[in-house]
Amino acid sequence: MSLITPHGATSLTPLLATGQRLAELEAESATLPSITVSSAAAANAVMLGAGYFTPLKGYMNRSDALSVATDLKTTDGLLWPVPVLNMVERFDGNLGDRIALRDPNVDGGPVIAVMDVTGIECLSDDDMALMTREVFGTDDPNHPGVATFSSQGQILLSGPIEVLNYSYFQSDFPGTFRTAMEIRDEIESRGWKRVVAFQTRNPMHRAHEELCRMAMSDLNADGILIHMLLGKLKAGDIPADVRDDSIRTMVDHYFPENTVMVTGYGFDMLYAGPREAVLHAVFRQNAGCTELIVGRDHAGVGDYYGGFDAQTIFDERVSEGALEIDIYRADHTAYSKKLDRVVMMKDAPDHSKEDFVLLSGTAVREMLGQGIAPPPEFSRPEVAKILMDYYQSLDQ
């Protein structure tokens, strides 16, 4: 039995150049006009290069972007939940140009990709408003995804790209950053067939840990892919290196061998809630996973989305057969004092609020910052120690 088929293709279509082609592009890029792209556009290039955005060939044009925003489909009918764009404030080139795209996140601005410019379009204010409203569900400039999206410029450059490198992700996270191809290869080498993906931009506490166990048991899965975002986050989020350390510590102490792969991917967080949940499903299918855990407020921020909007979008907006990956729907999880274990709260109808250990993220951050470990029912002590050290270092 082979692994699940990539999205919209029979095999992955990574856009990273290698070998002789890479050498040719590096030489050519030195002679090309260049522009420095946004962090979001650079992250899109990394995801295109690493096979996660199979079967896309580059940046979308206006018609595809608007179609994706309104209908979750490209103009040729491919399910895609979020426009993949290269927006700039100005462009002095011409249609048909080949240009070098420079990385804003690496010192010296090295070339991250070479692009054939097949479209130069000016997005109107109405276009921007429509995409913002549809993708993020709000036009509030305080929403971190909206703020990032609206700050990139309104000149849309579209066209195919070839990617030269994976930005800072490979050098900064050599033990964690993996391409979709590498994850598929490791899944096959482990002999796994049924693989559940867990998306995270945060450290994992007891509820997250047990949720992975529940999904693995309920689905009779061979393994869990803990797949963490390594790119740009909003202020206040835990940095990727601290998160990586805490997750690996949890896995090493509390999961049996050959049941968990800890990996990461090079993308900036969108905080787009339901739309981002569908995007997460697309690139977990491309990475070879058969299920994705979607829990409460998946990829959300603040109070912009309903608790389970990221689950219902798969029923309401994703047509039958558009994705091969399935969704494992998780409810609120919490530690039950009655049962002495983490449960999904819907499975404990005889419990009152007092029967659960419930802590807000704010309360946990305050405890950690004061050097107070959260209760062991909430956070493993080994994980709490790493996070306490981090929060206390902020006060130095």
DSSP assignment of 170-224 equals: HHH-TTTB--HHHHHHHHHHHT-SSEEEEEESS---HHHHHHHHHHHHHHT-SEE
- The string of DSSP codes covering 136-180 is HS---TTSHHHHHHHTS-SEEEEEEEEE---TTHHHH-TTTB--H
State how far the Cα of 157 lies from the Cα of 161, in Å rounded to an integer: 11
**C-alpha count within 13 angstroms, C-beta hemisphere, residue 317:** 23
**Contact between residue 359 and residue 378 where contact means Cβ atoms under 8 Å apart:** yes
Residue 9, number of CB atoms within 10 A of its CB: 14
State how far the Cα of 126 lies from the Cα of 134, in Å rounded to an integer: 12
Please indicate whether residue 201 is annotated as part of the active site.
yes
Query: Strands 291-294, 326-329: parallel, antiparallel or unpaired by DSSP?
Result: parallel
pLDDT in tens, the chain (396 residues): 589 999 999 999 999 999 999 999 999 999 999 999 999 999 999 999 999 999 999 999 999 999 999 999 999 999 999 999 999 999 999 999 999 999 999 999 999 999 999 999 999 999 999 999 999 999 999 999 999 999 999 999 999 999 999 999 999 999 999 999 999 999 999 999 999 999 999 899 898 999 999 999 999 999 999 999 999 988 888 999 999 999 999 999 999 999 999 999 999 999 999 999 999 999 999 999 999 999 989 999 999 999 999 999 999 999 999 999 999 999 888 889 999 988 988 888 899 989 998 877 777 888 888 999 998 888 999 999 999 999 989 876
* Cα separation values, 391 from 64, 302, 335, 386, Å: 43, 21, 24, 9
| Residues paired with 334 in a beta bridge | 343
**Which residues neighbour 292 within 8 Å (Cβ) at sequence distance 6 or greater?**
196, 197, 199, 280, 281, 284, 325, 326, 327, 328
State how far the Cα of 347 lies from the Cα of 273, in Å rounded to an integer: 25
In the DSSP assignment, the letter for residue 32 is S
Q: How far is CA 286 from the centre of its chain?
A: 13
**332 in the Ramachandran plot: left (φ > 0), alpha (ψ -120 to 50) or beta?**
beta
* Cα separation values, 41 from 107, 156, 241, Å: 17, 11, 23
**19 in the Ramachandran plot: left (φ > 0), alpha (ψ -120 to 50) or beta?**
left
pLDDT at 1: 59
> Minimal CA–CA distance to 317: which of 60, 54, 73?
73
State how far the Cα of 213 lies from the Cα of 335, in Å rounded to an integer: 14
pLDDT at 2: 87
E strand or H helix at 310: helix 309-316
User: What residue segments make up the domains of the chain, in order of their start?
Assistant: 19-170, 175-393
Catalytic residue among 98, 202, 329, 365: 202
Rounded to the nearest 5 percent, the helix, strand and coil shares of the chain are: 35, 20, 45
Dihedral angle of Cα 332, 336, 339, 341, to the nearest 10 degrees: 70
Q: CA angle at residue 83 from 82 to 87, to 5 degrees?
A: 140
Residue 186, number of CB atoms within 10 A of its CB: 17
For helices 62-71 and 125-136, angle between their N-to-C axes, nearest 10 degrees: 40
**Contact between residue 291 and residue 328 where contact means Cβ atoms under 8 Å apart:** yes
State how far the Cα of 161 lies from the Cα of 85, in Å rounded to an integer: 12
Catalytic residue among 98, 190, 194, 201: 201
Please indicate whether residue 243 is annotated as part of the active site.
no
CATH number of this structure's domain 19-170? 3.10.400.10
User: Residue with structure tokens 């995007």?
Assistant: 279
CATH top class, domain 175-393: alpha beta
